[in-house]
Structure 1
Amino acid sequence: MKKLIALSCVALLGMGSTAAFADDDVGREEAAKLVEQGTIQSIESLEEKALSIKPGTITDRDLEREDGRYEYKLDIDADDGTKWEVKLNAATGEVIKTEQDD
């Protein structure tokens, strides 16, 4: 009986971790295909949009599929020395979130 309970717990934990990692980073090749297909905007135009919101230097970028849409997340060291995360809808360029990092 204890083995059955332990196996059930392992199975439930495994299912939970699968759900937690269901949203994935998109690789460069896939991103290029998405741009070519017109599914997302070009990375250059998305970066230009982010820098128009928070001028500075992009220090990190990730394209992810999250909540059924493609999101482009950028970390920016702003010209005034502050650090920001800007998240854009990669298909529309719409700003999802702008948040100052600590």
Structure 2
Amino acid sequence: MNTRRTAFAALSLPLALALVACGGDDDADDRAEDRAEQAAEQTPASSAPATPSDGASSAPADAPAGDDSTVLAAAATAAGAVPGGTLFTLDLEAGGWEADVVDADATSFDLALAADGSSVTREPVEDRDDADDTDDRAEREQLLADATVDPAGAVEAARGAVPSGTVTGLDLDLSAGTAVWEVQLDEDTATEQTVVVDAATGEVLRTEQDD
């Protein structure tokens, strides 16, 4: 009888240990699941992809403005070629730029510049046709007095109205007695247009579509 009890106890012990072990595994699994759930609750949910706020456009930005570095270089080079010079006219031609610069005495000079605007290719020569014209001189004197916006400011203002295209000419002139910059874009093409900028305030007065 004792022998049977001993044998039964011997068989029961491994079984009990196995059950305890299984129970331990189950408890460990349960604890792991609990920890995972707690971690998930504490971890902020990933943010959804940002969407434009009400009224904000998701469309791409306007096309970048044309590269104005060449025309501005030509304007600066031309004005610097005449002591006390102010650029009045700049036109892109086949071989480079043609310019008209007026000095502090309202005398007009013609000159030419390289295509990249970095150098003078024809030295300034006084425009004798306008030298003795009192009306032209009076107009130049008024433009020198009234125009406070330089070529760079005129181009910048024009870009607010026409962001793309190539600036092919600048002209400081009087329009109904007001000093204006005429910023010409894409001359001799189907998209040719002129932006008229107040030379005293920098305000865009109008944009003219050329036929």
* TM-score, structure 1 as length reference: 0.56
The partner residue of 1:41 within 146, 149, 167 is 149
Alignment-derived partner of residue 205 in structure 2:
96
**d(CA) in 1 for partners of 2:146 and 2:210?**
32
**d(CA) in 2 for partners of 1:39 and 1:71?**
8
Quick one: which amino acid aligns to residue 28 of structure 1? V
Q: CA deviation at 1:38?
A: 7.8
Q: CA deviation at 1:29?
A: 3.0
Query: Gaps spanning 5+ residues in structure 2: where?
Result: 1-87, 89-99, 105-142
**d(CA) in 2 for partners of 1:45 and 1:60?**
14
Quick one: which amino acid aligns to residue 101 of structure 2? R
* Higher relative contact order (CA closer than 8 Å, sequence separation 6+): 1
Alignment-derived partner of residue 71 in structure 2:
none
**d(CA) in 1 for partners of 2:174 and 2:157?**
19
Quick one: which amino acid aligns to residue 51 of structure 1? R
**d(CA) in 1 for partners of 2:202 and 2:103?**
18
* TM-score, structure 2 as length reference: 0.30
Query: Gaps spanning 5+ residues in structure 1: where?
Result: 1-25
Matches within 5 A, 1:19-58: 26=88, 28-30=101-103, 34=144, 39-54=147-162, 55-58=164-167
Superposition misfits of 4+ residues, deviation over 4 angstroms: none
Alignment-derived partner of residue 82 in structure 1:
191
Q: CA deviation at 1:99?
A: 1.6
Partner SS for 1:41: coil
After superposition, what is the alpha-carbon deviation per residue over 1:75-94, rounded to whole angstroms, capped at 9, x for unaligned? 1129xx62111111110111
